[in-house]
Structures are given as C-alpha cells and as structure tokens.
Structure 1
Amino acid sequence: MNLFPLFADLKNKLVLVVGGGAVAERKIASLLAAGAQVRVGAPSFTPAIRLMAEQEKITLLEDEFQPGWMEQVWLIVAATDDRNLNKHIALLANQACRFINVVDDPELCSFQMPSIVDRSPLVIAISSSGSAPVLARRVREKLETLFDHSLGALTALAEKHRPAIRRLRPNLNQRRQFYDWLLDGPVAGALRSQQPALAEQWLEQELECAPGSPTGKVLLVGAGPGDPGLLTLKALRALNEADVILYDRLVSPEILALARRDATQVCVGKSVGEDHDATQDRIHALMLQHAQDGQRVIRLKGGDAFIFGRGGEELEFLQAHGVAYEVIPGITAAIACAAYAGIPLTHRNHAQSVRFITAHSAKENDKLDWHSLAAEKQTLAFYMGVSQIQWLARQLQEHGRSPDTPVAIIENGTRPNQRVVTGRLRDLPQLVLEHQVQAPSMLLIGEVAAMADTLHWFGTHIPSLEALEAY
C-alpha cells in the first residue's frame, strides 16, 4: 500500500487551513462535519468563509502565513494557489511532525483527504493515493448507488444494541448470523420505509428469541421496460442482495446480468395462450417456499409491479401467509416508452390527461367507458395491445374518436432494437400488418403521438405518411 488507511477522530481538535478561497471552503466544510476546531489563515477570504467566522464556526487569521499558526494543531491543510508557499508550509509541518495535506499536490502530502460515501456513523473512504482523484470520485459515485442512506440509521441501531447482541449471541457464528439478518431482514426494510420504532421492535424481538433459522422476505421489484439504466438504485441494490430471483418473461438479460452471481434465477413469465391463473398460482407457491426457507426473494417484474403487474394480488397472498415483504417501484412501460419515442404523455396544448389501459382484460371483460376514452385532448396508453389492434381501433372510432387521431406503436421500447411506427387511427391495423409489429409493444393514441415524428431521438423511427410528405 502506498498509504496506510485510517480514520481520525478530530472532534474538538485544532486543525489549520491555510488559504481563503473556494478550495479552502470545501476543506473547511469537511473538517467541520468531523467536529474539528478549524483555524483558517490567509490575507483574504471568500464571503462564505467570513460568514462561517461570523457564525463562530471557525477562527480567522487574516494575514500572510506565519509559522506560529501551526502551534498545537493536529492537522494542516494547505489550500493556497502559491506552490512555493505550499512547499514551505509542508516542510515546516514535517519538521514539526504534523500531518499535512497540500491540495492537488500529492508529492507534498503526508495524508490524503479521500472521496467519501457518508452513511454516518458508517463512512466509506476512497483514495487513489493522490494519483487520480477523478477515478476516486467515480468509484465513490458507483458506491453511492449501492448503499442506501438508511445504512447510517442501521449502523447506529446496531451500535446501540451491541452489548445486548454480544450478551445474547455469545457464539461468534450466532453473531454473524444475527448481523446478516439485521442487514437483510425486516429491520433494514423498516428503516428504508422510515419506520425506526418498528425497526427497533423487530431487533429486540429477534434478540429475545433463541438463535434459529433465518427469516425470509419477498421484494416486489419493478425492472422497468428493458433498459438497465432505468433501474432505480433500490432495485439495483435488491438484485445484489437476492438469494432467489423470480423474473417475468419481459425482464431483459442485461438486467438479470446485474444480479448477484450466485443467486438462483427462475423464469416465471406468462406466455400467450397459457392459463395465466395457473401460472400465478405457481408464482405464489415459489415465493412462499423460498421465503419459508429463509431466503431473500426478488419478484422481478417488467415495468412496475402495481401497473397491470398483479403486484397487489401477490402482496395479498404474502400477507395472508405471514411473509414479510417490501415494494420497490419501477418505471412503467407507458412512461418510459413514450419518453424514448419523444412523445410527451401530457401536453398543455394537446393532452390534459393520460389513461393507462390493458388491452387483454379490456376485450375479455369489456366494461370500459368507450365514450370517455374516445374524447379528444387525452392520451390513451394501451399495454399488451398488438393482438387487439383491430378491435381497439374499431371501438374507438365507433364511439366517436376521429379516424385522423395520431397513433404511435413502440416496439421493444427503451431497448437497442426499439422501433416506433406512427400514423393515424384509421390506418392502425394496416400499420401493424405492414411493419410486422411484434410484442412487446406499447400503443399510444392521441394528439401527442404525432410529436414522435419531430421529437424522436432513440432507436428506429418509421414516420407517418403525413410526416413523410412534409419532408
């Protein structure tokens, strides 16, 4: 190692910062966050530094650098734009056996100020030994996505109950199992849900129980429509913590590749012509089985679990069987596909509302208010609509929607092979046949659909006849 990593306790300890510019501001803020008493010396200061002094957060020494400033300080930060001065300060600091950081000059440093992921009291520090600060920053950005902010509260809770944990779990393996449960189980889930009292209740109850088998949990996770970049940070963390992943047919391989390598992956997707109720019963059985085995189960759904994803039914089943659960929303297909096609679902001039409809259930149990669906100035987003295109187009026109209403069919939305076909409602069945549109596809109907002809930015676009004539 080029550097020895350590965490310094600077609470109420005197630290000197030489420099009064914007760089010094940032260093002062970090030192104050660690509880240090900060002395700042320079001929002039930024307004922000002066304000900190007025608020009695720091002490100012308004002058050219004086060696006497270094007396009784624990650390020194040189943040001037004069390298000769920085070099002189570094020499004096080394002679006085003081640790010094010279900003952007690793050769003169005896310690580095790392990039930090702050989940206090949990703190993660990253250093490139001063060789590549930008690389350290990028690593920090990656780590920020992996660690939920609730980890700070979880660490504090573990610290509070540490004596009881050591007393009631005297065996090292028992303690390890308990801490694994603490990180992966209902305590962490309650803290993520902003329920600290419930989290502490779970912890205390578990401590009072004799050590035994771990408790399982199911997380309903929305995977979005396909682009792995649209996963939420919580969804990504869940994939990295999963023991078992029960995934839908439309979840992309790129998203599955982000999961923990040793997680068991089971495809539970439904296909056209299948008995969907029987498949759903199998999903329920698998969730229950793996949760009762003490595993962390991810029910991974395309789009969002609560938008035509039967997520409500699955939660009802889990609740009825006493299985702990959590829901992580995903970006639903209508929102993502429209955005990737350049289509605003609402627009001040063209659409004051948007309605989400599943074409399958609409045809099987047609109780839709077609007169209201046929009204202008709204956007209709039909899920799973390719096989029902002719019926949908006929119903809307028969109930008053203009045959000239713009439409857009988005095939494989957000994926590398995305295609967007635009046209008019009267031509919708012909467009599907002519371009051999396949599932998964999203159908958008409304005035805003025409905006794809000018605002498209992703994938392949097949413009409407009117747009071609305009070109």
Structure 2
Amino acid sequence: MRHFPIFLNLSGQRLALSGGGDAALAKLRLLLKTEARIHVYADVPDAQILDWAAQGRLTLHRRALLSSDVAQALLVYAADEEPIRDAEIAAMGRDAGVLVNIVDNLEGSAFITPAMVDRDPVTVAIGTEGAAPVLARRIKAGLEERLPASTGVLTRAAQAFRGAAEALPMGRARRDFWGAYFDTVGPAAHDAGGAEALRPALDKLLAEHLSGDRIRTGRITLAWTGWDDPEMLVMKTRRALDAADVVLHDADLAPAVLELARREADLVALQAGAEVPPLAAHLLHHAQAGHHVLYLSTRPLPHDLALHCRSGGVDPVDIPGLPGPEQKNMKESA
C-alpha cells in the first residue's frame, strides 16, 4: 500500500490552492464541502471562483502563491496546469514541511485525493494508486446506488442518539439495536415521515430492546469454501462472516478469508474434518448462549451436521460453497 488512507479534521484549517482554471474549479467543488478555510491564489480566476469569493465561501488572492502562503497552510493544491509552476509549488511544500497535491500528477504529489461517495457524515473513499481511475469511478457509482441519499440523514440521527443508546450493554445488544435501525426501522420511518420521524422511531426501538421484546435467539450458520481467495466466497457467506459473533473454522482456512470477519468476533480454529457430534455440540453451545455462530469449513460439510444441530434445538442456515481447484481435480479424476 503506497498511499495510506486517512481522514483529516479540516474544521477551521487553512488550505491553499494555486490556480484559477478548470482544474482548480474541479478541486474546489470538492474542498468547499469541507469546513476548511480555503485560500485561492490566481491572477485570472474563473467567474465561478469570483462568485464563491463574493459569497464568502473562500478567500481569493489575485496574485501568485508565495512560499510564505504555503508555510501557513495544512495542505496545498497546485492546480495551475503548468508543470514548471506545479513543480515549484511542490518544492515550496517540501521546504516548509507541508503536503502538496499536484492535480492529476500522481508522481509529483505528496498525497492524493481519492474518489469519494459523499453521504455526509458518511464518506467512502476509493483509491487505486492512480492505476485505474475508470475502475474507481465504477466502484463509486456502484456504492452510490447502494447508499441512498437518506443514508446521511439516518446517520446524523444515529449520531445524536448515541448517548441514549449507551443504556444498552456493550457488544451484541448494541449491534442488534443499530442493525435493526439501519436495516429496517430507520429507512421505514424516514420513508413515512422524513427526518422528523427518526427520533421517535429510535426512542421506540430502544424501549423495545431495553424491555427485551426484540432480543434474538442464537443462530447457527454453516458454510464452506474450497478457495483461499476471499473474492471467491459466495456473498451470503461474506455477510455471515461480517455478522457472526463467533467463527468456528477449519485450521487450514486461508487467513485472507478470516480477515473478512468482524474485529470483535471470537475466532476458533478446529482440526479439519472434525467429528460431527462434538462439532455440533460446540456450535449449539454458542448458539444457546445467544450468539450468532458461523462454522466455515474448507471442504463440503458433512450431511448430518445440520441434522445434529436441529436435534439440539437450533435450525441452521446452510450456505452452499464453491469447490476449489484441488477439489475439482479430485472430482474429475474420480
């Protein structure tokens, strides 16, 4: 990873941008969404920049950027679209210890600005190290389709409610509460009554969770994959990895696959091909304690494992897997 993604607090911070043309406009449309104090340096600024300055959204200096200006900024954008001038500004930044981004120049920049999905306060950053901007845009478009415009409204309401939600115990109780809010209760309330309907919906949902009316019983999910590549997991298994409280897995499961599990989940390695009765007992133990437990194997699941779980009182979700290259070869040779 050449470029490490971080989120900077720009509230009240000074940003400097050199340039007044198309490249400057494109960058300013993004920067003006922040709470930074933006200073633009341009001899001949675009009319739109003049309008923003007249509205007080930025400070315009009708001159070239100086080294003293660079030294006062947290970040600097070089958008003059002149390679020699951009290189001069980058050198100013190095001398002052200030990070400089040269618009559309990956190699000359100390930092880059990724593609973004903006659902304020939810922000998703997408970077490809400059290798595939078209791919970044496609990923961005896909995420925008999956994150409706109401995502930001739902998140702001949740942010204001966090203190009240702390009445629930840490861990699964809070995860279940917020999961119910973001998955079903929040969107339904917003569709019915807009932003004003969210606080009453949150109050009602919290009361239900505190009273125990929405407490869920434990669950068992059974899944397998013959691949070390996490991208070969079926989507339902990926979602189960993200949701499970406890992940029992074969010891030879690829670490890259386990990386998809929640950080808070308990990971328990088992001997590959463990005997079914003790394995089922292990799964039932966690489920009966109220947890969502996932067993992820590296080979097709024993046919009687689900039966043993049902006889213990828990009907598992059984997710089909994809055979890996070795399993395919074994099947073909047989």
Same fold (TM over 0.5): yes
Which SS does the other structure have where 1:123 is aligned? strand
- Name the CA shift for 1:196/1:62 in 2 (closer, same or farther; >3 Å): closer
Which SS does the other structure have where 2:143 is aligned? helix
Cα separation, 2, equivalents of 1:193 and 1:136: 34
Cα separation, 1, equivalents of 2:170 and 2:69: 52
Alignment of 1:222-301 (within 5 A): 261=236
Q: In the TM superposition, what whole-angstrom CA distance separates every residue of 1:334-370 from its partner, at most 9, and x where no partner exists?
A: xxxxxxxxxxxxxxxxxxxxxxxxxxxxxxxxxxxxx
Alignment of 1:319-330 (within 5 A): none
1:117 Cα offset (Å): 0.8
- Name the CA shift for 1:212/1:96 in 2 (closer, same or farther; >3 Å): farther
Name 2:112's counterpart in structure 1.
Answer: 112
Which SS does the other structure have where 1:76 is aligned? strand
Cα separation, 2, equivalents of 1:180 and 1:134: 33
Cα separation, 2, equivalents of 1:107 and 1:90: 11
Name 2:12's counterpart in structure 1.
Answer: 12
Which SS does the other structure have where 2:5 is aligned? coil
Indicate yes or no: 2:198 matched with 1:199.
Answer: yes
Name 2:168's counterpart in structure 1.
Answer: 169
Cα separation, 2, equivalents of 1:261 and 1:170: 28
Cα separation, 2, equivalents of 1:178 and 1:191: 17
TM-score normalized by structure 2? 0.61
Name 1:190's counterpart in structure 2.
Answer: 189
Which SS does the other structure have where 1:106 is aligned? coil
Cα separation, 2, equivalents of 1:112 and 1:193: 41
Name 1:271's counterpart in structure 2.
Answer: none
Cα separation, 1, equivalents of 2:180 and 2:171: 14
Q: In the TM superposition, what whole-angstrom CA distance separates every residue of 1:91-111 from its partner, at most 9, and x where no partner exists?
A: 221221212111110111121
Indicate yes or no: 2:136 matched with 1:136.
Answer: yes
Mark the structure with the bigger radius of gyration. Answer: 1
Which SS does the other structure have where 1:161 is aligned? helix
Cα separation, 2, equivalents of 1:24 and 1:34: 16
Whether contact under 8 Å (2:77, 2:102) holds in the other structure is yes
Give the letter aligned to residue 139 of structure 1.
Answer: I
Q: In the TM superposition, what whole-angstrom CA distance separates every residue of 1:18-59 from its partner, at most 9, and x where no partner exists?
A: 111021012122212101111111221111111112222222
Name 2:214's counterpart in structure 1.
Answer: 213
Name 1:66's counterpart in structure 2.
Answer: 66
- Name the CA shift for 1:30/1:206 in 2 (closer, same or farther; >3 Å): same
Give the letter aligned to residue 205 of structure 1.
Answer: K
Indicate yes or no: 2:186 matched with 1:147.
Answer: no
Indicate yes or no: 2:39 matched with 1:39.
Answer: yes
Cα separation, 1, equivalents of 2:48 and 2:96: 31
- Name the CA shift for 1:87/1:186 in 2 (closer, same or farther; >3 Å): same
- Name the CA shift for 1:17/1:122 in 2 (closer, same or farther; >3 Å): same
1:83 Cα offset (Å): 0.7
- Name the CA shift for 1:194/1:76 in 2 (closer, same or farther; >3 Å): farther
Alignment of 1:332-371 (within 5 A): none
- How many equivalent pairs are there? 219
Which SS does the other structure have where 1:17 is aligned? strand
Indicate yes or no: 2:90 matched with 1:93.
Answer: no
Name 1:76's counterpart in structure 2.
Answer: 76
1:72 Cα offset (Å): 1.4
Cα separation, 2, equivalents of 1:196 and 1:183: 14
Cα separation, 1, equivalents of 2:153 and 2:169: 24
Cα separation, 1, equivalents of 2:191 and 2:91: 48
1:211 Cα offset (Å): 3.5
Q: In the TM superposition, what whole-angstrom CA distance separates every residue of 1:187-244 from its partner, at most 9, and x where no partner exists?
A: 22221445333332121012123234369xxxxxxxxxxxxxxxxxxxxxxxxxxxxx
Which SS does the other structure have where 2:123 is aligned? strand
1:161 Cα offset (Å): 0.9
Whether contact under 8 Å (1:187, 1:200) holds in the other structure is no
Whether contact under 8 Å (2:154, 2:187) holds in the other structure is yes
Cα separation, 2, equivalents of 1:159 and 1:120: 12
Cα RMSD, aligned residues only: 2.1
Give the letter aligned to residue 207 of structure 1.
Answer: L
- Name the CA shift for 1:194/1:87 in 2 (closer, same or farther; >3 Å): farther
Cα separation, 2, equivalents of 1:194 and 1:8: 34
Name 2:273's counterpart in structure 1.
Answer: none
- Name the CA shift for 1:90/1:155 in 2 (closer, same or farther; >3 Å): same
TM-score normalized by structure 1? 0.44
Give the letter aligned to residue 14 of structure 1.
Answer: R
Whether contact under 8 Å (1:174, 1:211) holds in the other structure is no
Cα separation, 1, equivalents of 2:192 and 2:8: 32
Which SS does the other structure have where 1:44 is aligned? coil
- Name the CA shift for 1:197/1:49 in 2 (closer, same or farther; >3 Å): closer
Name 1:180's counterpart in structure 2.
Answer: 179
- In the alignment, structure 2 segments of 5+ residues that lack a partner are 217-233, 240-334
Cα separation, 2, equivalents of 1:176 and 1:74: 37
Task: Report sequence identity in percent.
Answer: 29
Give the letter aligned to residue 78 of structure 1.
Answer: A
- In the alignment, structure 1 segments of 5+ residues that lack a partner are 216-258, 264-471
Give the letter aligned to residue 162 of structure 1.
Answer: R
Which SS does the other structure have where 1:100 is aligned? strand
Cα separation, 1, equivalents of 2:127 and 2:191: 29
Whether contact under 8 Å (1:78, 1:100) holds in the other structure is yes
Give the letter aligned to residue 22 of structure 2.
Answer: A
Q: In the TM superposition, what whole-angstrom CA distance separates every residue of 1:138-187 from its partner, at most 9, and x where no partner exists?
A: 21011111111111111111111101112x21231101111111111222
